[in-house]
Structure 1
Amino acid sequence: MVVEDDMLIAMELGERLADMGYEVLGPAHSIAEAEALLAREKPDGALLDASLAGGASSVPLAVALYAKGVRVAFCTGYDKVKNAPPELASAPVLTKPVSDADLKAGLEKLLA
């Protein structure tokens, strides 16, 4: 699952993941869109932009996903995710712009 508020980045990220052989759910451009997707399907993993449009944090969504057994990684312009609780301390953080090699390595770690 991809949650990214920037439409171009979301589209490009989805294409890159598909090219790597992943089935992509989304992208969702907001928490509400992500929740609507989750109501229909449970992904194996989620790649979340840490800060969405309007300053919304994806951390509460990450906590909810984690509680449902969905593995979570953040793809963000920051090197750390603010206000991440202890259960997300080991969540991979991929810093934008993320290379294909780092994206692949991060997803392999996430889904291992």
Structure 2
Amino acid sequence: MSGRLKILVVEDDALIAMELEERLQELGYEVLGPVATVEDAERVIAETRPDAALLDANLAGVSSVPIGVKLAGMGVPLAFCTGYDQIKDAPPELANTPILTKPISEADLVAGVKKLFGG
């Protein structure tokens, strides 16, 4: 078992998902997924508790807010990766969730992930 921090990536755009996975691995993180649906994300969470999560806010028209609420309830820090500057219908427990605006620059990704881990 590696001691690397595990980040769940939920992203329905295959190219963005691959790029995020590659960039996170280069930064030394273990990537869970990437997965493209709320159902797949739930399956991953049931098997392995992530140390943090990056969620695309809109998965082919389906909101990832429910998975965010579940992760927040588990105490998992998360950020939304989206083309929007706010999350529609975000419940109070996600009100302060950071948003990384796509396309995510290298600097924003590094800073965003550091912030998730209290850096």
- Report the TM-score, using the length of structure 2 for normalisation: 0.91
The equivalent residue for 1:60 is 66
Deviation at 1:111, TM superposition (A): 1.3
Give runs of aligned pairs for residues 7-22 of structure 1, distance below 5 A: 7-22=14-29
Deviation at 1:24, TM superposition (A): 0.7
Deviation at 1:84, TM superposition (A): 0.9
The answer as to 2:102 corresponding to 1:89 is: no
Measured against aligned partners, the alpha-carbon deviations of 1:77-101 in whole angstroms (never above 9, x if no partner) come to 1111111111111111000001010
The equivalent residue for 1:36 is 43
The equivalent residue for 2:106 is 100
Distance 2:106 2:91 in 1: 28
Distance 2:47 2:93 in 1: 25
Could you tell me which amino acid in structure 1 is paired with residue 117 of structure 2?
L
Distance 1:46 1:60 in 2: 13
Number of matched pairs: 111
Displaced runs of 4+ in structure 1, greater than 4 A?
none
Distance 2:116 2:88 in 1: 20
The answer as to 2:83 corresponding to 1:77 is: yes
List alignment gaps of at least 5 residues for structure 1.
Answer: none
Q: CA RMSD in A?
A: 0.7
Higher strand share: 2
Distance 1:28 1:39 in 2: 14
Distance 1:32 1:110 in 2: 23
